[in-house]
Amino acid sequence: MKFYPEIYNIRDQRMKPFIDPDEIWSLIRNTKSTPERVRHVIAKSLSKKRLTMEETAVLINAGTPELIEEIKEGARALKEKVYGNRIVLFAPLYVGNRCTNNCTYCGFRTSNKFAVRQTLTDPQLIKEVEALEDNGQKRLILVYGEHTAYSAEYISHTVKTVYSVKKGNGEIRRVNINAAPMDIDGFRTVKDAGIGTYQIFQETYHRETYKKYHRGGKKADYDFRLTALDRAQEAGIDDVGIGALFGLYDWRFEVLGLVRHTNHFEACYRVGPHTISFPRIQDASSVDVDPRYMVSNEEFIRLVAILRLAVPYTGMILTARENAMVRREVMRFGVSQIDGGTKLEMGSYSESINEEQDLNKEQFKINDSRSLNEIIDELLDDGYLPSFCTACYRKGRTGEHFMEFSVPGFIKRFCSPNAILTLAEYLEDYATPDTAEKGWRVIEDNIRELEGHKMEMEIRRRIELIKEGERDLYL
């Protein structure tokens, strides 16, 4: 394994790159996957234990339709048993698409002369946030290209600006960011601005493939990216999101890369990643991707189910890159967060300018452009409890997924009540009459589930307060 170059002046072994391709390939090639082993591994995950890389390889190598079905069933059972029916909603907000990197799969890359470049001014940013609040959004992820204009100070400034915007009953209660890796001081700066999760995807854990797709700019440095979240931890950001861009290299390698990354966090910081993302390559302006590793829908569902079982305590994010049908299907196997009402063209939340998607103005094509209300409506139809909860992070309960997972009664005491209360606010302030009617029925069903639990009266009392106009009543 190659180690971190001297120039980073590493005084700490934790900052060394930790992906060994030979180890990963050896696990894929040599791990046997009998029905007994697969069942044993699924049972371990259902007993709420994180899987080792070898156990994950057992699931990866289970190729018969029957075993794949058992894995999917296991993931579904785990989600139901551990997390129940809540789905957290958020929206991405692109702040600036200037970029000095040259990732060949991305419409924003520096060599794409067709890309229309823009950075939102403060008034534009405020207008966008107001429009998002008018839709009922409470959680955003701000997204930036990599450019000297988007320094830690600038990112901090935009985060603070977003928090400051209040329109009607609207406010953004959690701002996550997806931005280029920083040094430790930079991470401290954005932490001080009050970010929720810092999310960054390794894109591919395979070094050679990484080199092929990142042909310039700072992002060409695999090691600097791989160790970004270690620097974030060092700066005190323990709420981090990892991900791989599926379609660049063999999906089996990437799944094991994500599990290895998770092990690394657990071993070094005693906390796993807050979320795992699994974006799949979509069409983009002037995109240049080798189609060899494209992931089919079947493989995609399979890999999501495997990830769910491999890291049972972490949040799993599925975005509008996928179409509505795929999202509906994949959601059953362990997804806990989705975006809704997503628009990628800058300025488009406030100006409704993208009736037709224009790839030159977007990072990539999205395939689920339904409104937030439409998404919520479908979630309610499918028996989910849509949630805008931001309570744990604001109460200082970091690692909430882990608590949901490991603290008995945590979901009934905190998660379900907060999901219900935030949905009640949405129904009062933003839902269409049909969705509101449906939503109140779902709320009633969910309160009944808590029957006998002392929370029930408390929630009913708070819902009355929400109906009288009070907001932000979280536990």
Q: Which positions lie near ligand SF4, rule CB under 6 A?
A: 99, 101, 103, 106, 108-109, 145-146, 219
What are phi and psi for residue 175, nearest 5 degrees?
-115, 110
- What is the footprint of ligand SAM within residues 329-368 (CB under 6 A)? 363-364
Q: Are 172 and 139 in contact (CB under 8 A)?
A: yes
- What is the footprint of ligand SAM within residues 235-254 (CB under 6 A)? 245
By three-state DSSP, how is residue 285 classified?
Answer: coil
Name the binder of 161 from ligand SAM, ligand SF4, none, CB < 5-8 A by kind. none
Name the binder of 345 from ligand SF4, ligand SAM, none, CB < 5-8 A by kind. none
Of the pair 87, 95, the CB lying nearest ligand SF4 is at: 95
Alpha helices, DSSP H, located in 184-250:
184-192, 207-213, 222-226, 228-234
Options 19, 59, 259, 287; binder of ligand SAM; rule CB under 6 A = 287
State the nearest-atom distance from the C-beta of 3 to ligand SF4, in Å.
Answer: 24
Of the pair 150, 333, the CB lying nearest ligand SAM is at: 150
Options 129, 131, 284, 359; binder of ligand SAM; rule CB under 6 A = 284
In terms of Cβ atoms closer than 10 Å to its own Cβ (0-12, 13-18, 19+), residue 165 is: middle
Which tokens is 105 given? 């799969």
At a CB cut-off of 8 Å and minimum separation 6, what does 176 contact? 90, 139, 140, 141, 142, 195, 196, 197, 198, 199, 241
Q: Applying CB under 6 A, does 264 fall inside the site for ligand SAM?
A: no
How many CB atoms neighbour CB 79 within 10 A?
22
Of the pair 103, 415, the CB lying nearest ligand SF4 is at: 103
Closest alpha carbon to 202 in 229, 236, 234: 229
Q: Applying CB under 6 A, does 187 fall inside the site for ligand SAM?
A: no
- What is the footprint of ligand SAM within residues 437-456 (CB under 6 A)? none
Q: Are 361 and 111 in contact (CB under 8 A)?
A: no
Q: Applying CB under 6 A, does 178 fall inside the site for ligand SAM?
A: yes
Of the pair 179, 232, the CB lying nearest ligand SAM is at: 179
State the nearest-atom distance from the C-beta of 420 to ligand SF4, in Å.
Answer: 37
Of the pair 89, 99, the CB lying nearest ligand SF4 is at: 99
What are phi and psi for residue 57, nearest 5 degrees?
-65, -30
Of the pair 112, 178, the CB lying nearest ligand SAM is at: 178
